[in-house]
Chain A
C-alpha cells in the first residue's frame, strides 16, 4: 500500500506539469494583456510597452514558460505581476477561507445527505422518500448564487441571525469563524447534499435487496443495525466516490460562493487572476488544484480498502 501511495504521488508531478503547460499555453494565446490593465485606461501605448518589458511579457513563450519551470524546480511559485507579492504568500492568505468553507460544506453534506439517503432508501416509495428526493431535485437544480442570495436575504437581512459577508479566521474565535461560514456552506452544499443523498439512496436500495440483508432481518437484527452497520458499509464505495469527487467539484463551486459572500478565498483569487491575466498566480493555483485533485483521488482509493477489505492494491 505504501509503495502504491508513493507511486501515485510521484505520478502527480507529470500530471501537474502537463496541466500547467496547458493552462500556460491557453493564457498565452488568449487575447488580453496584463500590462494594459496595470497601466490604466489613460496610459499611452509606449507606457504599456515599457511595463510589458519590465514584467518580461515581451519574451517568447518558451522562455517565459522555461523560466517559470526553473523557478518551480527551485521551490519558487513566482511573483504576482500585479501585487509584486510571492504567489505562495497570496495562496497562503486565501487557503484558510477556502479550506474552511470546503470543510464545513463537506461536514454538512455528510451529516445531512447520508442520513437522508439512508432514510429515503429505507422508506423507498413512501411520502418521506418522495419528499427527500423532491428536495434533492430542488437542491440540485438551484444554482449556488440563487440559493446564496435567498439565504442572505432571509437569514442575514430579514432575520439578522447571520452576517451577509466576510470571513473571520478560526484564531479569532469559533463562533465568529463559523457564523461567516454557515450561509455559504449551505449555499454551496445544496447541490452536494442532493447529489450524495441520491447516490446514497441508490446504493442503499441495491444493498438492501441483497440476500445477506434478508438473512440479517431473518436473524432478528434491528432496523438501525441493518441500515447503518450492514447496509451502509456495503454501500459505502459509491458514496465515498461521489463525496470525493464532490471535494474537487467544491473548488469550482467555491468560486461563485466566495463572490456572493465576499469570502477572500482561492476562488476569488483565481477569478481575479484570470481576469487580469496574472499568469504566475494562475499557474500557482492550477498547480495547487491539480495536486488537490490527484490527492483526493488517492484518498478515495485508499478509503476503498478501508470500507471494503476485498479491495487490494
Chain B
C-alpha cells in the first residue's frame, strides 16, 4: 500500500463520516474515452464569426463543419458539399450538399442554413467581403442546392470556403446564422463531428465536447480540415491552464493527455520524460513581425524603414523567441510561409547576408531623422512580443535612434495601435506582433501584407505596387501565374517595407504516449486521435 492510498483511505474515512459521500468508482474504460487537452488559450467566447481568436476557431472546427476544407497540401476539398458547378463565364457557382447531413439538434442541414451562414461569414471575412462586393445574389435553389451569382468571376471561391484562417465559413442552423455578425451567438448547435456541452462550459477554465453520433464522415482519409473526420473518443475536455509550469506538470503526471503549445523553456523537461512525445505542432509556424507607422516621421520615409530592415538581425529576434533550439526557426527574407507552394524570396536581399549597421545609419541620416523619439509599443504580457520588443529597442539604439519604449499589456497595444494621431499625442511609431503561418500562404487572408493606405492594417502602409501585384494574384488562374505574382508581391512589399518580418518560427506540441493519431497542422485536429488507458 503506497502513501497515496493511505492518505486516500484516511481522508475518505473522514469524508464519509462528515458527508456520507464517497468517491465514485471510475470505470477503467472511461478514462480512455475522454481526451484531456490543454489549449493555447481560454475559450472565453464561442462564436467563430463574431470573434476571430485562433482558440475559438480551433474549438469551432469540432462543432461546426464547413462546405470545403483545406487539406495538408493546402488544397480545398469538398466537405459538406457533394458537388459544385461553375458557369462558363465563371460568374455562377451552383453547389449541392451531401445527403444525410444533420445538425446536433437532429434537424437536417438545408440550403437555407448555408445561405444564412455564408451571409453572416461574408460580412466579417476579408475574402467574404470581396465576394460580397461582386455578389449579385446568394439563394437556396432547393433543400440541398444553393447558388451564388456574381457580377464577375472569383477564381478563389473554393479557397475562400475551405480556408482555415479565422473566420472560417462554418455552417450553422439558419436561426443562429441570422444573428447580426457583430453580435455574439448563444446557441452552439452545429453539424460537426462533436457537440459542445454548454452545461459544462466554464469559460476560461473548461470546455467539453461530446462525440456526435449522427455525424456522417466522408469516406476519404482525413487530412487537416478535409476528409473523413472520425472521432475515436467519446469526449474531449479542454482544460485551460494559464501557467505553463502547471500544464507541464499535469502532462507529466498524466492528468492531461495533450498540451497544444508547450513553451520552449519546458520542452527539454518534457522530452526527457519517457511517457511523453514532443514534436512540431504546426508545420506552417509563425511569421514574426514589427510594424512601423507609415503616417509619421521617421517611418513615413521609406529610407528610414529600409535602414531598419538593413540593420535588423532575424537571428537575434528568433533566438529571443525560441532560445537555442535551431530546429525551431528559419530566416525569412520575405513575407510568405516557407515550404508552401507559393513561397518566394524574390527581392529579399535586404534581409539576407551580413548586417550593415554603418550603411543603415547613413540611410537613416539621409531620411532626415534627427533624433526625435521613436514610440515603440511592446506588450509585456505576450512572451513573443516582449522578446521582439527587447531586440528592437537594442536595434534602434544601435542605429542611433531615440527609443521611447512603452512597456504595456496586449489589450493596450491593441487599442493604441489603432490611433492615427502623431506618436507624441497618443499615437505610435512601432509595435510588435506575429502572424500564423497559415495566414501567410497567400494574400487571401493575409491582412498584414495589404498596403492600401487608410484601409490597410495598423501602420497604414501605402504601396500601390504591392496592391497591384496582390490583385494580380487574385486574378491568377494557374499555379505559375500565382507564383509569379507572389514573387512580385514579396519584392514590392520589401521595397516599400510594408512591415518588418523578423523571421519564421515553429512551436512544439506535446502529448502522452498512450495517445495516438495526432497530426501536424495549423490547428489541433481531434479526428483520428485515440487514447488507451
B411 within 8 A of A: yes
**For residues 57 through 85 of chain A, which have their beta carbon under 8 Å from a beta carbon of chain B?**
80, 82-85
| Besides A172-B23, A268-B242, 4 other A-B contacts (C-beta < 8 A) | A42-B448, A44-B457, A152-B249, A176-B24
Q: How far is the CA of A271 from the CA of B184 in the complex (A)?
A: 22
Partner of B253, one of A82, A164, A177: A164
Binding-face segment, B44-52, B210-218, B327-335: B44-52
Q: Mark B438-461, 1 if CB is under 8 A from A, else 0.
A: 010000010110000001011000
5 pairs of A and B residues whose beta carbons are closest in the complex = A174-B15, A264-B205, A40-B52, A36-B414, A33-B415
Q: Are B22 and A276 in contact (CB under 8 A)?
A: no
B8 lies within 8 A of A175 (CB): yes
Q: Does B166 contact A (CB under 8 A)?
A: yes
State A37–B41 Cα separation when bound (angstroms): 13
**In whole Å, how far is A126's beta carbon from the nearest beta carbon of chain B?**
32
The answer to whether B184 touches A84 (Cβ under 8 A) is yes
Q: Which residues of B contact A179 (CB under 8 A)?
A: 7-8, 11
Min CB distance A259 to B, Å, is 5
Does A297 make an interface contact (CB < 8 A)? no
A238 within 8 A of partner (CB): no
Cβ of A300 within 8 Å of any chain B Cβ, yes or no, is no
> Which residues of A (224-282) have their CB < 8 Å from a CB of B?
259-262, 264, 268-269, 271-272, 275-277
The answer, yes or no, to whether B462 is at the interface (CB within 8 Å) is no
Known: A32-B415, A157-B253, A164-B246. A83 touches B203 (CB 8 A): yes
> Contact check: which of B18, B183, B249 meets A153 at CB < 8 Å?
B249
B19 at the interface (CB under 8 A from A): yes
B-side contacts of A37, CB under 8 Å: 410-411, 414
Q: List 6 A-B contacts (CB under 8 A).
A: A31-B412, A32-B414, A41-B435, A44-B457, A51-B50, A162-B4
Interface bits A171-184 vs B (CB < 8 Å: 1, else 0): 11111111100000
| B7 in complex: contacting residue of A44, A157, A161, A260, CB < 8 Å | A161
Name the residue on B nearest A269 (C-beta): B204
Answer whether residue B319 sits at the interface, using C-beta atoms and an 8 A cutoff: no
Bound CA–CA A310/B311 (angstroms): 78
A307 an interface residue at 8 Å Cβ cutoff? Answer: no
Q: Is A43 part of the binding interface, using a Cβ–Cβ cutoff of 8 Å?
A: yes
A174 interface neighbour in B12, B53, B415, Cβ under 8 Å? B12
Whether the Cβ atoms of B15 and A173 lie closer than 8 Å is yes
A272 pairs with B52, CB closer than 8 A: no
The answer to whether A40 touches B16, judged by C-beta atoms less than 8 angstroms apart, is: no
A95-147 with Cβ < 8 A to chain B: none
Given contacts A36-B411, A272-B44, contact A50 B239 (CB under 8 A): no
- B409 lies within 8 A of chain A by Cβ: yes
Which residues from chain B contact A260 at a C-beta distance below 8 Å?
243, 245-246
**Do the beta carbons of A33 and B411 come within 8 Å of each other?**
yes
Please encode chain B, from 241 to 258, with 1 for each CB lying within 8 Å of some chain A CB and 0 for all others.
111011101101101000
Per-residue interface assignment for chain B, residues 1 to 27, with 1 indicating a CB less than 8 Å from any chain A CB and 0 otherwise: 011100110011011101101111000
Report the separation of the CA atoms of residues A268 and B243 in the bound assembly, to the nearest whole angstrom. Answer: 11
B465-499 to A contact mask, C-beta < 8 Å, 1/0: 00000000000000000000000000000000000
Give the number of residues in A that approach B within 8 Å (Cβ atoms): 63
Q: Are A42 and B241 in contact, with the CB atoms below 8 A? A: no
Asked if B249 contacts A156 (CB within 8 A), the reply is yes
Q: Check if A38 sits within 8 Å of B50, measured CB to CB.
A: yes
Determine if B408 is an interface residue (Cβ-Cβ < 8 Å). yes
For residue A264, which residues in chain B have a CB less than 8 angstroms away from its CB? 202, 204-206, 240
Asked whether A160 and B253 contact (CB < 8 A) given A36-B415, A175-B8, A264-B202, the answer is yes
Q: Report whether B11 and A173 are in contact in the complex, using a CB–CB cutoff of 8 Å.
A: no
Bound Cα distance A272, B41 (Å)? 11
Choose among B250, B381, B447, B455 the residue that contacts A262 (Cβ–Cβ < 8 A): B250
A262 and B7 within 8 A (CB) = no
Tell yes or no: B388 within 8 A of A by CB: no
- B130 interfacial by beta-carbon distance below 8 Å: no
Known: A44-B457, A163-B253, A262-B243. A84 touches B45 (CB 8 A): yes
Residue in A31, A90, A152 whose beta carbon sits within 8 Å of that of B203 in the complex: A90
Q: In the complex, what's the smallest C-beta–C-beta distance from B31 to chain A, in angstroms?
A: 14
Residues on A with beta carbons closer than 8 Å to the beta carbon of B22: 173-174
Residue contact A174 to B21, C-beta cutoff 8 Å: yes
Contact B166 A42 (CB under 8 A): yes
Most chain A Cβ neighbours within 10 Å, of B2, B8, B54, B204: B204
Interface centre among A259, A262, A277 (most CB of B within 10 A): A262
Cα distance, A38 to B230, chains bound together (Å):
31
Shortest CB distance A282–B (Å): 13
Indicate if the CB atoms of A261 and B12 lie closer than 8 Å.
no
Contacts of A84 in B (CB 8 A): 45, 184, 186
Contact A174 B246 (CB under 8 A): no
